[in-house]
Amino acid sequence: MWEISDLGEAQFCIGIAIERDLANHYIYLSQTALIDRILVQFHMTDANPVTTPMEAGVSLSKFPAMPLTGQEELELKTIPYRRLIGRLMYLAVGTHPDISLAVTKLSQFLDCYNLSHWLAAKHVLHYLIGTRHLKLRLGGHVASDIVGFSDASFACCPDSARSIGAYCFSLGESGVVSWCARKQKTVAQSSCDAEYIAVSEAAREAMWLRMLTAELGFPPLRATPLLCDNQAALVLTEDPSFHTCAKHINTKWHYICECTENNSIAVSYVPSRDNVADILTKALPAQAFLRLRSFLGLCTYP
C-alpha cells in the first residue's frame, strides 16, 4: 500500500507553468521563470530587447570570415556556448516555437562555434527579454480537426547546401500543438525537392497526430489538411506515377503520395505570406515575423 496526496491541479511541471481558463476552455503554457533564470545566468537581465530572434538575412558558417587570433581562440574557450544552446533548446521544444529556427541553426556549431555564433545566440536572449511573458494558448470552444503547414528554405546552409524543412500543426483556434524545424538529411536539387521532402516529413507527423487523437477518443472525421506554398511539390504529391523529374528522390519521401491516395491527408496550396511554417525556415523581417508568430498561438494573455 502506498499513500498518495492530492495536490490539486498541476500549476508547474519541469519548468513549464500551466494556467487554465475554464470558462473559455483554454490552457496557457509558459516558461517565464526559466527564461528569467537563463537571463541571470548569462548576465543579460539589463540588455535591450529586440523584435526577432534572428536578424533577417544572417548567414552562419562553421568557417570564420577571418582567421582567429590567438586572443580570440582563448576567448572562445571561456564562452559557455554549449550551455546556452542547451537552455534554448528546452525553450524551443517546450513553449517557444518562435525561436525554433534560431536554435536549429545555432545548434549546428556546438563543436566549431566562433564569436559570430555567440553573438547570434545572445541575440536570441535579447529577443527573450521582450517576450518572456508570452504564453502558448491551447484549447478553444469547439473541438477541431488537425491542420498542418509545411515549408522549406532551399539550400540555406552555406556549408552543406542542405535545406531547412519545417512543419507545424494546430487544432483549429488552438495554438500549435506540434512543430519542428530541422536541416534536411539530404541535399535537395531544387526548391521543389526541398518542399516535397518537407511535406513528406510533415505527413509522417500528421499521421502520428491522427493516431494519437483517435486513441484519445477523437478520431479524425476527414482528411487532415496539410498546406504548403510550392505548386510543383503539390503536383508531385498528387501524381502516383511520379514525374520524371522526381526519379532521383529517395523512395521514402514518396510516403506522402500514399497518404493522399488513401485520403488520410489532403495537401493544398497556401500563399507564402500565410504559410505559418515560414517562420520556422527563414529569418523574417519584424513585421512578417510578428504576424506569423500570432498564428502560432503565442501572445500575452491575462
Topology of domain 144-284, per CATH?
Nucleotidyltransferase; domain 5 (3.30.420)
pLDDT (tens digit per residue) in 166-196:
999 998 778 999 999 999 988 988 898 899 9
How large is the average pLDDT for residues 100-121?
94
Report CA 73 to chain centroid distance, whole Å. Answer: 32
What's at 135, amino acid-wise? K
DSSP letters of 90-121?
A: HHHHHT-GGGHHHHHHHGGGTTT--HHHHHHH
Q: Per mean pLDDT, which range of 19-33, 67-81, 119-133, 160-174 is the poorest? A: 67-81
pLDDT (tens digit per residue) in 222-261:
999 999 999 988 888 877 555 556 666 766 777 888 898 8
Q: What is the pLDDT of residue 63?
A: 83
CA dist., res. 127 & res. 133, Å (int): 12
pTM, rounded to two decimals = 0.91
Question: Considering the chain, what is the average pLDDT of its residues?
Answer: 90
Query: Which residue in this structure is represented by grid cell 536570441?
Result: 124
Q: What is the pLDDT of residue 258?
A: 87
Distances, alpha carbon 28 to alpha carbons 32, 140, 216, 262, in Å = 12, 11, 20, 36
Q: What is the pLDDT of residue 72?
A: 72
